Structure 1
Amino acid sequence: MSATVSRQRHAADSSGSSFSLTASLLRLSKHIRYENLAAGLSGGVISTMVLHPLDLIKIRFAVSDGLKMRPQYDSMVHCMKTIWKLEGIRGLYQGVTPNIWGAGASWGLYFLFYNAIKAYTQEGRQTELSAGEHLVSAAEAGMLTLCLTNPVWVTKTRLVLQYNADPSRKQYKGMMDALVKIYRHEGIPGLYRGFVPGLVGTSHAALQFMTYEGLKREQNKYKKMPSESLLSPLEYITMAAISKIFAVAVTYPYQVVRARLQDQHNNYNGIVDVIQRTWSNEGIEGFYKGMVPNLVRVIPACCITFLVFENVSRLLLGEYH
């Protein structure tokens, strides 16, 4: 008798939990605005098209672990000149297709999820969200986005790490060829290499968005305007740059670990193996390789993306005054 009652209670609890989850998802879906998707996608695509060569250089420095097969670069300028001399503009734009797809989709989905989660959390409240709530909303949006886009990032990393100037001797001919070959030879796990450090990396975006939102709120408070008032382009650029520098300084090592896991020229047995070998062979500096070219790339990329998003989203939502 008691077992029957227990099963009935368990079934009732499960039914209640399922209903609660469904109700929450329905409430969340009401806050989804595809204008945010379009605006984020626009910002990601524009910034990627302009700054992809710097991303390529950053990844090549990040995986620079002493293997003889890798080209040796003295500096960012030397790296760019070498690639230009061997392969021309085409070489500097290796991997641009998955990067555009990845950046466009990531920023679009991120802004879509982030603004929906933020609005869902704000629902029925008069008070503004706290810094912690912005942090959690951004982290949740980042995890959802990464689940959908990780295969694209693996593909991009593989393409930008093809060092041979002769197209006929390259392992991958393009984005689709890389996706098919990775899936064929490595399966789903191959497409999700670097996923765990990528999840850790959602803290990067969470810290960035928390800082960015806080700066916007304080600036509007200083100007005695509503917290969501439209600011000037210079203000958006300044706040985006500050928030990005802060986030990069705190979280950059995960990007090195992720890039090395996704690199086809080296075999690691997981995150712990990457960390141990990097520390043993290169010390703390190994975890910050490529940070300077990364900052040179991500700060203008972030400024362009946020500026485009803020203006395009308001234009599409009819809030541009």
Structure 2
Amino acid sequence: MKIPKPRKRGDSYRIEIMFDGKRYSCTRDTPKECEHWATIKLLELKTGRTEDNKPVKPTITWMDLFNQYYDSVGKYTDSKAWNLTQLKSFEKKVGNLANTLIYDITPKQLTTWRNKRLKEVSDNTVLKEISLYSAMFTYAQKELFLITENPWMQISKPSKPDSRYRRISQQEIEKILKILNYEVGQIPTQSDHYVAWSFLFAIETAMRRGEILNMRKSDIYDGYVHLPKTKNGTKRNVPLSLFAKELVDLISREQEKIIPQSENAFRQMWEKKKAKTDIVDLHFHDTRHEAISRMVRVRKLPVEVLAKITGHKKIEVLVNVYYNPDAQELVEMFNGSAS
């Protein structure tokens, strides 16, 4: 059988062969590599054996791997919604690599993809995507035993961006409450009310959005909330301030789930309403920065106690990422400690 000529696709080459009515293809960096692959592939298909006289590997593309990884692992994690979003947009993000056999994906191809992706999105987004993609190949290596090496381990990752430093002003809080049609002390009855309620509760407790959305009446005790499952896999107790208790008292006694919304509906409401304000660069997770900074300033909590409340296992992350005092707060604490 005559080997077809490879076709150029972007920065790489793609070759397709037919055997017994089935189509096989691969993507390589050069035409010669494509032709070499096609020669070996045809030999394997004709003999039913590999060049090492081993059974032919199962045909599994990166897209196939992603689907299998999601069904077996991804949808059972706390990031299942994000994983599903990544799955739906996967082919658009990686192009021809999605339909390339996982055995054929090279570090050079991944480096080319990384460089292209860095021109489209932030370094942090690329880091998150690489982490997910690398986890898939580790799954293929250590659980499915399909590959012997993870190609992602052979490429350089973008530098981790500086930690986010974002406080929330009282003026911004008022704008968020206004756009969500909510006033402090109001019993929430509508979807936008619950988003506003959660915003206030997060600033008061330093709880994550997901933790608030999963919170139930049965988790609330006299003076604290018990979180049976958190992002880092451990349980913890979060003390409630007087204001936090007042917020809890506003929730109907009949409903077990505090926030009667899905994570996706909540996120869409937050983004849609926030976009109607003039507030720049505010994420819901910034409430955690604000809450932790307030706890230090107002309650003077020692770092080891604060870590128990926030659930941080690494003190340096708590101090260097989430504690964001402004200059005036530092001056006040400095002078206050001398009196």
TM-score, with length taken from structure 1: 0.24
Greater helix content: 1
Larger RCO of the pair (alpha carbons < 8 Å, separation 6+): 1
Greater strand content: 2
TM-score, with length taken from structure 2: 0.23
